[in-house]
Amino acid sequence: MRTLAVFILTLAIMGAVAAPAGSPTSAGGLLPVRGVHLSAPSKKDLPLALTFIRQTLPKEGVNTLVLEFDYNYDFQSRPEFADPAALNRTDVRQLVQACRDASVELIPQINCLGHQSWSTHTDRLLTKHPEFDETPGKYPDNKGIYCRSYCPLHPGVHAVLFDLIDELAKACEAKSFHVGMDEVFILADPDCPRCKDKSKAELFAGEVSTLDAHLKKIGCRMWMWGDRFLDGKATGTGEWEGSENGTFPAVDHVPKDIVICDWHYDKAPETVRFFADKGFDVVPCPWRKSPVALAQLAQVRAIRAEASQPAAKHALGVLQTTWCGFAPFVRAYDAQAAGEAVAKNGAGESADCFRALFQAIRKKPASP
C-alpha cells in the first residue's frame, strides 16, 4: 500500500492525476482548483468554445471552468425566461461533454441578490418579475445606482430563482454552483416594506444560507464572491473589493462549506489567509495584472506549504477572471499564442494574465 501511495503521489506531482480538492500538498504540488471564469458563449460561438475547452484548457492545466450564464439560457421550467436565441439544453450538453473530455469541472453561475441590472439594462429576473425588486419604482433607467438587487425577503422570489438554478444545474450536470453575490450595494432599502430597518449583515447572511441550503438539496456545493465578507476599511480593500455598507459581519454567520472566490485586481491583500483561517475553502481571483495574479498564487502556495496548520487545506488554488466575453477572450489568447503583442484592452490583458498565471502554476516553485 505504501508503494502504491508513493506512486500515486508522484503521478499527482507530475500532473497525471489531480490532488483531491481541499487536501494540503507541498508548495510544488498540484493545486486542487486551477480555474478560469468566463461568460457563457453565445450560440454562434459554441464551436469556438468547444474547441477552446478541449484543446486549450488541458494544455494550460485548467481543471475548473466557471461559466456565468445568468439568464442567458433558454429556460423551460419558467416560460417567461425562455430565450430561443440563447444556449439550450442540447447546446449545454455539448459543453458538458467537452469539459468531460478535457477533465474539467463545469460550474454554472447565476448572479443572485445583486447585479440584477447593468447600466440602463435591467436583467430578466426583475423585468419579468418587477415585484421582486428591492427598490420598485425607484431609480428610473437605473440612474444613480450601480446595480439593482432583488428583495431577499420577498415571499415569491426563491420559488422562481430556484427553478432556474435547478434547471441550469441539471443541464450542466453540476456538482457545484456559483451564485455571484458580489458588489451588493442595495440592501435593506428604507423604502422596502420587508427589509427596511433590518441589519444588512443579517439579511446578507440569511440569503447566503438560504441559497446554500437549497444547493445542498440538489447535490451542489455553493461558490460565491467574497467581497461582501471583508471589512473594506479594516482590510484596506475599500467599498468594492470589500464592504463598507455593513455586510461584512455576515462572514461569521454562514455555513463554512461554501467556496469563497476572493477577487482582487490591483493589489494582492492577505485576504486568502483571512478566509482560510475562518475555515472557508478559498480561491483568489485575479483579472488582468500578472504581478497581482502571481502574488495571489504565492499566497496560496505559502498557506498550503504549512501542512500542519488547519488553513493549509483551505487554500484550494486560483480562479482567473476575464470580464470580456468568451469569444473575445479566446481570440486574444490565440493571438498572443501566435506571437502577437498584448492588446491594451480587457480581453488582451486578461488573456495575458491568464497565460502568465498558468505558466507559473505549471512551474514547480524553487525549494525554500
Q: In the chain, count of helices (H) and strands (E)? A: 13, 10
* pLDDT at residue 220 greater than cutoff 70: yes
Query: Is 82 part of a structural domain of the chain?
Result: yes
Query: Is 15 part of a structural domain of the chain?
Result: no
Q: Residue 64 — φ and ψ, nearest 5°?
A: -140, 130
**Could you tell me the pLDDT band of residue 21, with boundaries at 50, 70 and 90?**
very low
Give the pTM: 0.92
Distances 222 to 106, 200, 213, 362 between C-alpha atoms, Å: 13, 21, 9, 27
Q: What angle do CA 135, 141, 146 make, to 5 degrees?
A: 65
- Output the domain CATH number for residue 104: 3.20.20.80
Q: Are strands 105-112 and 176-180 parallel, antiparallel or unpaired?
A: parallel
Average predicted confidence (pLDDT) for the chain:
92
Q: Which of 3-17, 53-67, 293-307 has the lowest mean pLDDT?
A: 3-17
DSSP code, position 55: I
What angle in degrees, to the nearest 10, is found between the helix axes of 200-217 and 157-171?
40
Distances 289 to 87, 273, 355 between C-alpha atoms, Å: 31, 21, 11
Helix (H) or strand (E) segment spanning residue 93: helix 89-101
Query: Is 149 part of a structural domain of the chain?
Result: yes
The percent of residues in the chain predicted with pLDDT above 70, rounded, is 91
Tens of pLDDT, residues 272-327: 999 999 999 999 999 999 999 999 999 999 999 999 999 999 999 999 999 999 99
Query: Is 334 part of a structural domain of the chain?
Result: yes
The per-residue DSSP string of 226-253 comes to: -GGGSBHHHHS-HHHHSBSSS-GGGGGG
What's the rounded Cα separation, in Å, for the pair 334 and 337? 5
The number of distinct structural domains making up the chain is: 1
Residue 25 confidence (pLDDT): 38
* pLDDT at residue 133 greater than cutoff 60: yes
What's the rounded Cα separation, in Å, for the pair 198 and 183? 19
Q: Is 203 exposed, middle or buried (0-12, 13-18, 19+ CB in 10 A)?
A: buried
With contact defined as beta carbons under 8 Å apart, do 147 and 186 qualify? Answer: yes
Query: Is 366 part of a structural domain of the chain?
Result: no
Q: Residue 112 — φ and ψ, nearest 5°?
A: -115, 155
With contact defined as beta carbons under 8 Å apart, do 138 and 191 qualify? Answer: yes
Residue 366 confidence (pLDDT): 61
Query: Is 21 part of a structural domain of the chain?
Result: no
- Domain containing 68 equals 30-361
Query: Is 137 part of a structural domain of the chain?
Result: yes
